[in-house]
Each structure stands twice: as structure tokens, then as C-alpha cells.
Amino acid sequence: MRIVVLAGGIGGARFLRGLMSAAPDADITVIGNTGDDIHLFGLKVCPDLDTVMYTLGGGIHEEQGWGRADETFTVKEELAAYGVGPEWFGLGDRDFATHIVRTQMMGAGYPLSAVTEALCARWRPGVRLLPMTDDRVETHVLIDAPDGEGRKAVHFQEYWVRLRASVPAHAVVPVGADQAKPAPGVLEAIADADVVLFPPSNPVVSVGTILAVPGVREAIADAGVPVVGLSPIVGDAPVRGMADKVLAAVGVESTAAAVAKHYGSGLLDGWLVDTVDAGAVEEVEAAGIRCRAIPLMMADLKATTAMATEALALAEEVRG
Amino acid sequence: MRIVVLAGGIGGARFLRGLMSAAPDADITVIGNTGDDIHLFGLKVCPDLDTVMYTLGGGIHEEQGWGRADETFTVKEELAAYGVGPEWFGLGDRDFATHIVRTQMMGAGYPLSAVTEALCARWRPGVRLLPMTDDRVETHVLIDAPDGEGRKAVHFQEYWVRLRASVPAHAVVPVGADQAKPAPGVLEAIADADVVLFPPSNPVVSVGTILAVPGVREAIADAGVPVVGLSPIVGDAPVRGMADKVLAAVGVESTAAAVAKHYGSGLLDGWLVDTVDAGAVEEVEAAGIRCRAIPLMMADLKATTAMATEALALAEEVRG
């Protein structure tokens, strides 16, 4: 079975572990969000791709969910001693090496997709990891200007990490997405897929950004295979992260049903909500999307495997 | 008193400590060799400038003479795990931060001289540290090709660090030097100097490379002030390093007298040799260079201070 997964960072990576456990023989292609990529210290940093790579490759900091296990921060401390920041972004020494290799390869002319493949030769994540695009896309968030005069666009990482999404987001703009081309292999993987899954990743700044790359949404619709998602919202609140803040920016309520309808029945065939949101099943199905309520907390591999199994079962059900 | 010092790495840096102790009120400008600069992992590495900066700024690994104290090598180990080398060049985590800052600034358009000044704002070396040039100069060494067919040019660091100067050097070429311009401040510092000193640095790949930048040698000759050097050769062998290997490449014997005559009386007014080389004094003086034999081993700050004191005394003597 060929499965395509549109993944953000922590939520996507953890779901993928469950999926690989639920379908150990599946051929899985992960299309990773690159909208939260950022240039720091002259280096190209790809937080979501790395989170997937480290998680599936056994290098992740398990409790934190991002960054490397057994990490140290010597380089960052030294940079701070030079007065060079930002200090709010936690790049560890092990992580730095990844960004140094990536930046060096990109400087030599390799596209991000080739670089990602090279990095994965070390990590052997067990999936094919593709960036959504080799072009530069950068998610910006429109916030109130600090001086109270008008508005100001900040990089997603600045909004998410430095500001902890503590101020209202008026708009979320994947800058460059409209000009971006899907990376080599992306459209082909979708066309060849037997099922497409949306993990409980952020529907705006993760899955939404991938869908904003021209051709991706159309390819998924045209593939004619089941498209099943899992709600990142449980009991009207994000399972983790601050997805509610960016949902508000795009005018979507923080409910499991609202997110399903935001994707829409033109894209989504099936939707899994948590058992606490069982009341939403009827609303989602009324919108033309098959819906089931199951436990959606990725507490451990067993729970996550069960979620993936349910997603694949729902896909078969809608395939009919 | 305004002193200009042409410095390589370890020998130059240690001598400078003695000089600052011998002449605490002096205004010292160090013109640093950049011919052994190398691009590693996409980063601009300036070993000699950094050795001077770390040594005078209190960050040096004292026993080793280069690199940072309390250094760790996490980034390097991770790069190796990606299969990315070279492994023979010992870049530590603390050191990496310096190269990241430097590379980022240069990428933003700042010349090396401005970057060096910015880095020194942290280290406060107590001297004005100038790169010999802002242009790219790279010392290459001509060796026998590994397959025995003809010859091959390798970067100085590859010759020095990877090969440990274990194969014959047929030529030493400061590639780019003929097109290089002295960095801002270099010629002015020489013109304003009261004395110019050559520490016991490598006469070919350190001091020789600085002198190869068009205008530097002429400025020293034109300054009309005492120029005094200290022999890096003691008892027909280099005090440290492998200077004999590169001296052979330029057809100079590894003796204290031969190095003095290599600089020549047109450039050098005074020369200090070690007491074990007292027999060379007559030969050097016959070549028109005032010479004294004193202990030249930089065993500790006291010994190094005495060497610097003798160098300044010899300068006053030749000033007459």
C-alpha cells in the first residue's frame, strides 16, 4: 500500500511512528512543510523536516518532541557571547551540524529535496521524506505593530517561538507559496498513492501551507483515492501547540468539526475526531465527510498505532 | 611607542603576550597572516587571526596553543556521522561559533577586517588586530602527486595538518597574493610605526605571506624605522612546527643565519638568535644585519617578556 502523509512537525512525526507500526509494509511518502523554515546565523534551518527525520530516525529529544536527544548548547552560548542572536530559538550543537551540512549543500547548488535525501541517508527514517517544495516559502504572521500603529508581519517562528502566539494573529501568509513548485516526486507520489492522510498537524501553518503550494491540492483531489484526516483539536482546544491562535486568523473555529469543514468535502473524504467530540460526527457527516469518534491522544506508540489503524480503516470504508 | 608586529599563529601570539608585558603602554598593531585561511563546511576559518585573538583574549587552549579552552567537539562528531569532513581539521564547538559569526558577517558584505574588529569587540585582545588583506589569499603547497605522476598543489592546511608536512614541499605559493591589497589600516600602521617586529613565526608561510601582499614589504622598508626579527630556528631546527619543510621549498637552509639572510638587510635591521646559535652572529652581521644571541625559548611569560625586551632594545640600538 502506498500512503502519502502531509506532515508538519511534532504531531506529524509522532503520528508517522504510529502509522509505520500500523502498516509496517506500507510504502510511505511524507510531504513535509517547509513554510516554517528559517535562516538563522546564515544557516538554513528546516524545523518540520528535521523533526520528522529525527523522530523516525531515533535522534529526537523524546520529551521535548523537537531537537536532538542528549543535546548541548555550546555553539549557541558562544554566539550569544558575541552578541549574536536570536537567543529565543533553541539550536543545539548536534542540530547545528544538520544545518551546516544542509547550508553547505545548498550553497553548492543542491536543491532542498536532494539535501533532505542526503541527510536521510544517515537517519534512515523508513519513509521517503520530501519537502513540499524546493522553492523558498516562508510563513509570515500579521500582528499588531508593537508601537500600536498599524500591523507588522513577523516570521512564523518569531510568532510561535519568541512570542509564544501570545498576541492576536490577524493573518497567516505563506510568502512565496503562490510561486512555488512542488518538489520533485511530490505530485508523482500523490498520483500513485492508495491513500492520503492528514495527521493531527496544524491545519493552517502545517497542512495548510503544503496545500498552498500550487498543484498539491489539485493533485490530491485528482488522485481519486481516500483522503482521511485526524483532528488536531480535541474538546475545542489544540492537543498541543497553539493551533487555535492561527485558526482564528483564518476565521475558523477551534473545533474538530470546523477544521474538517475548513478542509472541505472537496478535499477530505474521512475525518477522525476524539471521543469527547463525538457530538461533532453528525455535523461533519452533514458536510459530506465520513466521520468517526475514537481516542485521539498520542500518549504512546500503542495509542498512536490505534489511531493510524482507524485512519486506514476509515479510508477503506470511504473507498467503498 | 607604536609597534607593528607581523604575526602568524601560535609563535606570533605567544610572542605578543611577552611584548605586551615588556611594553605595557605601547600601541601595538598586529598584521595577521590570512594565507592559511580555509573554507570548511561552508564556513570561513582564519586560524592565525583566531589564535592571536584567543591567546590575547584569554580564550586559548594553553597547552595546545590553538583552539579554545574547555572545547568540545559535538558538531564535528555529528558532521562525521553525516559523512561530512574533513575529519583531520579540529574544529571545536566554541570555535565553530566564531566561524559562524564571521561567515554570516562576510555573507552580509562586511570585509574580513571589519569582521575581525567585531570579533575582537568580544575578546579585547589589547592590540589592534588587522588581517594582512581583505582579499582572498590561500597558501598552496606543491607536493608529489600521490600516484607518482607529476605534482599536485594542496591547501597549506592539508599539507600542514593532514599530511603533517611529511612529504617534500617543492614550492609554496600564496595564491592570490599578487592581486591582494593590504587591508585598511595596514599601510598606515606601518607608516606610523616606531618599530616593526617579526616574531619567531614561520618565515615562509606566516611572515613571508604577509610580505607577499604588494605594498607591505615596501611600506616597511620606506618607514625608516628599526625592523627587528626573532629567529624561529634554534640549533638548526624549528622551535615548534615544521618550518624546515617549507624553508627547503624556498631554498633556504634551516639555520638562524639563513633565515635572517632570507629576509635580507634591505628589510631587516636586527636579528635575535638563540644562545646555542651564537656562532651565527658573525655571519648575520656580515650580511649587514645587527645580531644578538639571547635565550629564545618561549617557555613562559617571563622568558617571552625578556625576548621582547631584547628585541625592543636591539631596535633602539639600530636606531642609533
Query: Measured between alpha carbons, how far apart are the two ends of chain A, in Å?
Result: 16
Q: Which three cell numbers stand for residue B189?
A: 600602521
- What would the pLDDT profile of B91-143 be if each residue is shown by its tens digit? 999 999 999 999 999 999 999 999 999 999 999 999 999 999 999 999 999 99
Q: Is A50 annotated as a binding residue?
A: yes
Would you state the pLDDT for residue A147?
84
Q: Does B79 touch chain A (CB under 8 A)?
A: yes
- Whether the pLDDT of residue B213 is over 90: the answer is yes
Total beta-carbon pairs less than 8 A apart between chain A and chain B = 85
Cα separation, B320 vs B305, in Å, equals 23
| Beta strands at A2-7 and A27-32: parallel, antiparallel or unpaired | parallel
- Of B221, B318, B298, B294, which is closest to residue B264 (Cα–Cα)? B221
Would you state the pLDDT for residue A90?
87
Residue B37: which pLDDT band, with cuts at 50, 70 and 90? Answer: very high
- What would the pLDDT profile of A15-65 be if each residue is shown by its tens digit? 999 999 999 999 999 999 999 999 999 999 999 999 999 999 999 999 999
Residue B240: which pLDDT band, with cuts at 50, 70 and 90? Answer: confident
Counting residues of chain A whose pLDDT is more than 70, the rounded percentage is 100
Residue B90: which pLDDT band, with cuts at 50, 70 and 90? Answer: confident
Given A93, A107, A122, which is nearest B75 (Cβ)?
A93
Cα separation, A101 vs A261, in Å, equals 41
Would you state the pLDDT for residue A242?
81
Say yes or no for a CB contact (<8 Å) between B104 and A75.
no
CB A88 within 8 A of CB A161: yes
Task: For residue B57, give how far its alpha carbon lies from the nearest alpha carbon of chain A (Å).
Answer: 13
Q: Does A38 touch chain B (CB under 8 A)?
A: no
User: Cβ contacts (< 8 Å) between A118 and chain B: which residues?
Assistant: 82
Would you state the pLDDT for residue B50?
98
- Whether the pLDDT of residue A241 is over 80: the answer is no
Would you state the pLDDT for residue A148?
82
Neighbours of A173 (CB within 10 A): 17
- What would the pLDDT profile of A95-141 be if each residue is shown by its tens digit? 999 999 999 999 999 999 999 999 999 999 999 999 999 999 999 99
Task: Classify residue A203 by burial, with Cβ atoms within 10 Å: 0-12, 13-18, 19+.
Answer: buried
Say yes or no for a CB contact (<8 Å) between B78 and A72.
no
SS3 string, chain B, reads CEEEEEECCHHHHHHHHHHHHHCCCCEEEEEECCCCCEEECCEEECHHHHHHHHHHHCCECCCCCCCECCCCCHHHHHHHHCCCCCCCCCCCHHHHHHHHHHHHHHHCCCCHHHHHHHHHHHHCCCCEEEECECCCCEEEEEEECCCCCCEEEEEHHHHHHHCCCCCCCCEEEEECHHHCCECCCHHHHHHHCCEEEECCCCCCCCHHHHHCCCCHHHHHHHHCCCEEEECCEECCEECCCCHHHHHHHCCCCCCHHHHHHHHCCCCCCEEEECHHHHHHHHHHHHCCCEEEECCCCCCCHHHHHHHHHHHHHHHHHHHC
Nearest chain A Cα to B122, which residue? A82
Task: Classify residue A286 by burial, with Cβ atoms within 10 Å: 0-12, 13-18, 19+.
Answer: exposed
Q: Does B70 touch chain A (CB under 8 A)?
A: no
The residue among A68, A78, A119, A123 with the most chain B CBs within 10 A of its CB, best to mutate, is A78
Nearest chain A Cα to B39, which residue? A104
The residue among B39, B53, B77, B101 with the most chain A CBs within 10 A of its CB, best to mutate, is B101
Alpha helices in chain A (DSSP H): 10-22, 47-57, 74-81, 93-107, 112-123, 156-157, 186-192, 207-211, 216-223, 243-249, 256-263, 281-286, 301-319
Q: What is the mean pLDDT of chain B?
A: 96
Cα separation, B155 vs B165, in Å, equals 12
Cα separation, A306 vs A312, in Å, equals 10
Residues in contact with A53: Cβ distance below 8 Å, sequence separation at least 6, in sequence order: A59, A116, A119, A120, A123, A125, A129
Rounded average pLDDT over A210-232: 97
Cα separation, B216 vs B209, in Å, equals 10
Query: Measured between alpha carbons, how far apart are the two ends of chain B, in Å?
Result: 16
Q: What is the mean pLDDT of chain A?
A: 96
Would you state the pLDDT for residue A186?
98
Q: Does B41 touch chain A (CB under 8 A)?
A: yes
- Whether the pLDDT of residue B265 is over 80: the answer is yes
Superfamily for domain range B2-36+125-134+179-319: CofD-like domains (3.40.50.10680)
Would you state the pLDDT for residue B313?
98
For residue B292, the cross-strand partners are B272
Counting residues of chain A whose pLDDT is more than 90, the rounded percentage is 93
User: Cβ contacts (< 8 Å) between B43 and chain A: which residues?
Assistant: 100
Task: Quickly tell me which residue has 559523512 as its cell.
Answer: B83
Residues of chain A with CATH 3.40.50.10680: 2-134+179-319
Spatial strand order in the sheet of B171-175: B151-155, B138-144, B171-175
Given B75, B107, B121, which is nearest A75 (Cβ)?
B75
The CATH class given to the A2-134+179-319 domain equals: alpha beta
Q: Does B100 touch chain A (CB under 8 A)?
A: yes
Nearest chain B Cα to A41, which residue? B104
Would you state the pLDDT for residue B245?
87
- Whether the pLDDT of residue B219 is over 80: the answer is yes
Rounded average pLDDT over B240-268: 92
- What would the pLDDT profile of B138-166 be if each residue is shown by its tens digit? 999 999 998 888 999 999 999 999 999 99
Would you state the pLDDT for residue B241?
77
Say yes or no for a CB contact (<8 Å) between B98 and A84.
no
Complex ipTM, two decimals?
Answer: 0.91
Given B42, B118, B119, which is nearest A107 (Cβ)?
B42
Would you state the pLDDT for residue A243?
84
Residues in contact with B87: Cβ distance below 8 Å, sequence separation at least 6, in sequence order: B76, B80
Would you state the pLDDT for residue A64?
93
Would you state the pLDDT for residue B242?
81
- What would the pLDDT profile of A144-194 be if each residue is shown by its tens digit? 998 888 999 999 999 999 999 999 999 999 999 999 999 999 999 999 999
Q: Which three cell numbers stand for residue A200?
A: 493531527
- What would the pLDDT profile of A301-312 be if each residue is shown by its tens digit? 999 999 999 999
User: Cβ contacts (< 8 Å) between B96 and chain A: which residues?
Assistant: 75, 78, 96
**Sign of the dihedral defined by the CA atoms of residues A217, A218, A223, A225, in that order:** positive
Residue A240: which pLDDT band, with cuts at 50, 70 and 90? Answer: confident
Rounded average pLDDT over B296-306: 96
